[in-house]
Amino acid sequence: MLLHVGAHSHIRKSAETRRGKKLQMNMETVNNVEPPLALLAELTHRCPLQCPYCSNPTHLSGASGELTTAEWQDVLTQASDIGALQVHFSGGEPTARQDLPNLVRHAVSVGLYTNLITSAVTLDQKRIDVLVEAGLDHVQISFQDVDDVNGDRIAGMAGAQKKKREVAAMVRRAGLPLTVNLVVHRQNLANLSAMLEMAVGLGAARIEVAHVQYYGWALANRDALLPSRDQLDRATEEVDAARARLAGAVVIDYVVPDYYARLPKACMGGWGRRFLTVTPRGLVLPCHAAESLPGFDFPSVRTGTLAEAWRASDVFNRFRGTDWMPAPCSGCDRRELDWGGCRCQAFALTGNAAATDPACGRSPDHALLDIAVQDARAEPRAFIYRRIGGVPA
């Protein structure tokens, strides 16, 4: 799974319309904590693909401890009750759960807008039709390349790219809106223009061009994935040209790699401000990568409620707002714009989750990114593929 958030205003609008009056009730703040916008439901870590940039934790959960159908239905009800408007069914590969139509149906019944984030390789027309009948609103399919040989190599699965194209056509035939997610890095950026054309040809109303973000498996593969400055600049020009050409017809969201930024992104729209994630085993996280942070006692839906986790847990309150911020963030005029950047990236690079994100040019640790960028000039190492059992020592 690779999720980039912040570009879902079209989904928010649909969800607001659907939920009408109930939404207005739930938008009230409780103890100064606003309700979440969306739940990321990581139904499973199982996935037939092995993407070396997967944002799942490097130690993946097996099927045995996953939440049951009834537990997930309860999570969906609770998410709606605390004010969430959308659910993103994700993973791993969410279609590995045979109860997915039941969960979609339940989400719709409690007023959530439903988005399926999928690799698509396990879908067929029959399964799509069942999901449509259940009320699914939107599908997002990720592609590894336009070139089948390279795409299948990156995905770690023969035949994956061809299957994805076929399923994208089925999604459109079923009348569902489609987002194509293009995860880009130094080993596929040369094909970006052709990838954009492919996405348009598949009927995507929205294209997400997402440079890899470096935590989880991607951090282990950073030397093999991080593009050069020249590659990044060329990609940005190509995205700008496509945006101009497709204006009014296709929306293109663009996420650049933090390693070349001067200012960090507002990761997840700010910690504990807009999103909450529930993992396959029921942990409640402020972002899908937060399990990489050691020493955090994450709340669980098996021992407490989503409302308690969202409003009152130490984990969600630890980096909420601006009171926790160190200098230079504490005195910075951008602190309520980017909320100090990404906590997982701060920990991954400095060992301190409470540090200013090194992606910020004002961070005392910003030079750490220069070291990684220097390494990106060398020959890329072989991929470490995502698999149960974690990153080899």
Residues of the shown chain interacting with ligand SF4 in the complex, contacts defined by CB under 6 A: 1-2, 47, 49-51, 54, 56, 91-93, 119, 263-264, 328-329, 332, 334-335, 338, 340-341, 356-357, 360, 362, 386
Residue 82 or 202 having the CB closest to ligand SF4: 202
Length of the chain, in residues: 393
Report the nearest approach of ligand SF4 to the CB of residue 113 (Å). 21
Report the nearest approach of ligand SF4 to the CB of residue 268 (Å). 14
Residue 78 or 279 having the CB closest to ligand SF4: 279
Where do the H-state alpha helices sit in the chain? Answer: 9-26, 69-81, 100-109, 125-134, 148-155, 160-173, 192-201, 217-220, 222-225, 229-246, 306-312, 314-318, 335-338, 343-350, 367-375
Distance (Å, whole) CA 202 – CA 337: 35
**Count of other CB atoms within 10 angstroms of residue 129:** 13
Distance (Å, whole) CA 56 – CA 1: 7
Residue 50 or 350 having the CB closest to ligand SF4: 50
Distance (Å, whole) CA 316 – CA 326: 18
Residue 56 or 86 having the CB closest to ligand SF4: 56
Q: Bridge partners of 40? A: 88, 277
Report the nearest approach of ligand SF4 to the CB of residue 83 (Å). 27
Report the nearest approach of ligand SF4 to the CB of residue 11 (Å). 20
> What does the DSSP 8-state code read for residue 255?
E
Residue 116 or 329 having the CB closest to ligand SF4: 329
Residue 83 or 91 having the CB closest to ligand SF4: 91
> 90: alpha, beta or left, given left = phi > 0 and alpha = psi -120 to 50?
beta
Report the nearest approach of ligand SF4 to the CB of residue 13 (Å). 27
Report the nearest approach of ligand SF4 to the CB of residue 22 (Å). 32
